[in-house]
Every structure is written in C-alpha cells, then in structure tokens.
C-alpha cells in the first residue's frame, strides 16, 4: 500500500485522477497513468479547491503528471513506487 503523495497519511488511501492537462475531463476519467495515491482528506481538498490551486499552479500539475507517469511505470515494483511517492512528497514541501 502506498501513502498519500501530498501529506504522507498511510490510511484511507484513494486513487486520485489528474484531469488538468491530461486526457480526462468533467465526467471522463483520465487514463490509468494519470493517477496518484491520496488520503480521503487530500483528495477531497483537491476537488474542493481545484487542481491548479491544490498543486500550486500549472507547474505543480505537470509535476503531478510526471510522478503519476513514474508510478505507472513502476506499478509492478512496490519498493520503487514507494520511493517515487516519497520523492514527490519531499518536492511538495
């Protein structure tokens, strides 16, 4: 199990889709490589304030997309995936 990419929580983890600048949209889930693990609180906040505000602007969304791509490529290696989540969280601080 992966922890929340935003706050580091280890429980109540959900799949968070990134829609901004991807192939998703309102009512259309993005492809599976545009997802990140998030706790229910961070996921709710992301929906409440919007992706641009949540990630800190367009550059932050592009970083989230990059992390999601790295996670997708590491989907069969839980140890590598955990390292990617930790790296992303450090970059968000």
Q: Percent of the chain scored above 70 by pLDDT?
A: 100
Q: What is the pTM of this model?
A: 0.90
Q: Where are the domains of the chain?
A: 13-92
pLDDT of residue 92: 87
End-to-end CA distance of the chain: 22
Note the pLDDT tens digit of each residue in 60-83: 999 999 999 999 999 999 999 999
Residue 45 parent element (H or E): helix 40-49
Residue 66 parent element (H or E): helix 58-73
């Amino acid at each position: 199990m992966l922890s929340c990419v935003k706050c580091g929580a280890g429980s109540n983890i959900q799949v968070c889709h990134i829609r901004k600048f991807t192939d998703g949209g309102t009512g259309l889930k993005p492809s599976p490589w545009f997802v990140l693990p998030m706790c229910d609180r961070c996921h709710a906040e992301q929906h409440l304030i919007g992706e641009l505000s949540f990630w800190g602007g367009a550059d932050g969304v592009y970083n989230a997309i990059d992390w999601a791509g790295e996670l997708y490529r590491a989907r069969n290696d839980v140890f590598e995936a955990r390292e990617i989540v930790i790296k992303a969280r450090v970059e968000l601080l």
